[in-house]
Amino acid sequence: MLAIVCPGQGSQKPGMLSDWLELDGVREDLSVDAQLAGLDLIVHGTESGEDAVRDTAVAQPLIVAASLISAKALGLTAHQLGERPERVLIAGHSVGEIAAAAIAGTITREDAFRLISVRGSAMAEASAAEPTGMAAVLGGKEDEVLAALEQAGLSPANVNGGGQIVAAGSEQAITALTENPPARARVMPLKVAGAFHTSYMAPAKDKLAEAAEQVRAEDPALPLLSNRDGQQAIAGADVISRIVDQVTRPVRWDLCMETMKDRGITGILELAPGGTLAGLAKRGLKGVPSFAVTSPEDLTAAQDFIAEHTA
């Protein structure tokens, strides 16, 4: 059984779409996606530097674009995967949940980019309201880490499993935590520009909720796990509600991995820009093979991996 996972913010990098543009049809698809997202995805995906792609309003559409490009190149559509639903499940980390919903057939690609346009720009605006940030806390005992975050006035925005919790809050509190980490833990600031998945994002949630009212959601054609609790979302309306709510709620990727384990997955395929979730799986799902798609050069090996774990 194969888990197909879509990465979240922080996985972006300069030039991340350059190689993909060499594939037939990708430039044309991106031109349409760019109009829906209100952002020149081709320029940002090939020419923009580190600071530009770190911008939330830019990073989120780029990440979703990369995931959907790689999914299409691998033939991972709801129609094709629907022929073997008992062999596949899908999940996305944070913004990756929008890409996952599109692959599962809950929303169209067009609606995915309409939603990501609002989500990215609204979260960027909320981030600009006051200095906030995020940092990964690696190691330590979970209860001690959570207690340290509470004492520092920070929130556990992502509980990623494998000994990783992401703290979010004011820049001052993030800096203080970095300089005085919890016992047996180290703190690594992340390449994001705000305290995502906390109450700081309430204005963004309201704007995304308004945009989501215009989306007609279908029930997922494939098992789709939710960041909220790691459980399968059955109804299309519930998927959309969860996508909206997650803007201010913690991402429980640890619970998603627990469900994957319970379902008996034998392989994890991370779509582009891959690497982060495959790394978490090596720690949180020890012994389960993973494959991260990073460029078109990975497609042949990825197809072999898909065939092996959906046979």
Distance in angstroms (rounded) separating the CA atoms of residues 60 and 66: 10
Q: Catalytic pick from 44, 70, 93, 197?
A: 197
User: Cβ neighbours of residue 165 under 8 Å, at least 6 residues apart?
Assistant: 136, 137, 142, 145, 146, 149, 156, 158, 159
| pLDDT tops 80 at residue 192 | no
- Whether 93 sits among the annotated catalytic residues: the reply is no
Q: What pTM did the predictor assign?
A: 0.95
Which residues are paired to 132 by β-bridges? 170
Tell me the C-alpha distance between 296 and 302, whole Å.
10
* pLDDT tens readout for residues 127-181: 999 999 999 999 999 999 999 999 999 999 999 998 999 999 999 999 999 999 9
pLDDT for residue 311 is more than 90:
no
DSSP class of residue 2 equals: E
Q: Identify the active-site residue in 11, 67, 70, 94.
A: 94
d(CA 148, CA 210): 36
Q: Is 127 a catalytic residue?
A: no
pLDDT of 62 strictly over 90: yes
pLDDT in tens, 251-265: 999 999 999 999 999
pLDDT score at 303: 96
What local confidence, expressed as pLDDT, does residue 10 receive?
87
Band of pLDDT at residue 82, cut at 50, 70 and 90: low
